[in-house]
Amino acid sequence: MNDVYLIGIGQTKISKNAGIRGRYLSAEAVSKAIEHAGIEKELITMFITGNMMSGILTQQQQLGALTADACGFRGVEAATVESACSSGASAARWGFMAVAGGLHKAVIVCGIERMTHATREDTTAALATAADWELEGCYGESFISLNAKIMRLYMDTYGVDAEDFAHFAINAHDNGMTNPNAFLHKKIDFDTYMNSRMLSDPVKLFDAPPVCDGAAAVIMANEEVARSAVRSGLPLIKISGSAIGTDSLALDARTDKLKLSGVEISTGRAMDQAGVKHADIDIFELHDAYTIISSLSLEAAGFAERGKGVHFGKDGEIALNGKLPISTMGGLKSRGHPVGATGVYQLVETYMQLTNTAGENQVPDPEIALVQNIGGTGATVVSHILQRA
């Protein structure tokens, strides 16, 4: 395989922009990525779009060709990738394979999602299509209710209380305060978390992500193109591991409801590819859509023992200067979770960390990061290892 490098990043500020069409959000992110990469547009011969709900909420499919055209890439190879909330990272996986396999020298990956133009009821129903419709969706289950089931089972199994999840939300909101592109610039404390509105017992308002809009883009390239790019003194960032792990969509069909097998599988594969160990990881940019998913991800990825992931970080381990920083730019909780774009935002933010350009959110001199994006309640899990070359 060819080595693959991340050479350009772009993102829009996450917001509620109901009047702005997705193609224009994408164009903003893509133009920033091209300018940042410092390469000629003609070198880019593939355009991959990650999106989950455009066909449902805006009656628009074929975003690959549509977005490529809107961004000035008419005629290039283009397609859309969908894997629920992990659509952005799955699109990045396609981009990685295209460059690694030698089919393309440089590709653009763009994640885009518009959610706020629709009613909350329609958006909730659209999100629920990531669950198993036959076994869950048609019975009225939503992502909130499904995560509530997991959280309740975790609490009952391991004897923990709602308050034990607070530090994940507090940490994310602390970091989101200094991310200019974050949706929620709202600092919270323990009392704010505990007194927040109950969504579906035991999931409270600050256990869940906000509905929002956004687009992010990255440019991946082979070594030849990467080294020819205008670097401005920045180190090269290599994607040294890329993998997808899957599990059943339906919770009741899983062998173990409190084990994210997709996380375990994709983490192991990506780390093996990169030749790194857990002790080598300086940042774990996990999928913190719900605080219970943060707990289970830390366990399945191998950073915490089973039943103890919920306690990881209570002594500052997950802070920017901690042992294993997470949600470094606010995560899905505070930066926001425009679902099809989230995985690309994670890559953008991790690139910033590894190049020491994350401003007030900078982790002290990181070299290797694990970036993880989850579709559904764990059915599709995409993991990438990024490191300084």
Can you give the residue ranges of every domain in the chain? 5-119+211-228, 126-209+239-388
Catalytic, 337? Answer yes
Write down the catalytic residue from 85, 104, 167, 384: 85
pLDDT tens by residue, 340-377: 999 999 999 999 999 999 999 999 999 999 999 999 99
- Give this prediction's pTM: 0.98
**Which H, E and C letters describe the chain, residue by residue?**
CCCCEEEEEEECCCECCCCCCHHHHHHHHHHHHHHHHCCCHHHCCEEEEECCCHHHHCCCCCHHHHHHHHCCCCCCEEEEECECECHHHHHHHHHHHHHHCCCCCEEEEEEEECCCCCCHHHHHHHHHHHCCCCCCHHHCCCHHHHHHHHHHHHHHHHCCCHHHHHHHHHHHHHHHCCCCCCCCCCCCCHHHHHCCCEEECCEEHHHCCCCCEEEEEEEEECHHHHHHCCCCCCCCEEEEEEEEEECCCCHHHCCCCCCCHHHHHHHHHHHHHHCCCHHHCCEEECCCCCHHHHHHHHHHCCCCCCCCHHHCCCCCCCCCCCCCCCCCCCHHHHCCCCHHHHHHHHHHHHHHHHCCCCHHHCCCCCCEEEEEEEECCCCEEEEEEEEEC
Average of per-residue pLDDT across 103-129:
95
Q: Which CATH superfamily is domain 126-209+239-388 in?
A: Thiolase/Chalcone synthase (3.40.47.10)
- Determine the pLDDT at residue 275: 98
pLDDT category at 17 given cuts 50, 70, 90 is: confident
What's the CATH class of domain 5-119+211-228?
A: alpha beta
pLDDT tens by residue, 247-306: 999 999 999 999 999 999 999 999 999 999 999 999 999 999 999 999 999 999 999 999
pLDDT tens by residue, 147-173: 999 999 999 999 999 999 999 999 999
- The reply to whether 126-209+239-388 shares the fold of 5-119+211-228 is yes
Write down the catalytic residue from 36, 311, 337, 384: 337
- Determine the pLDDT at residue 231: 73
Catalytic, 138? Answer no
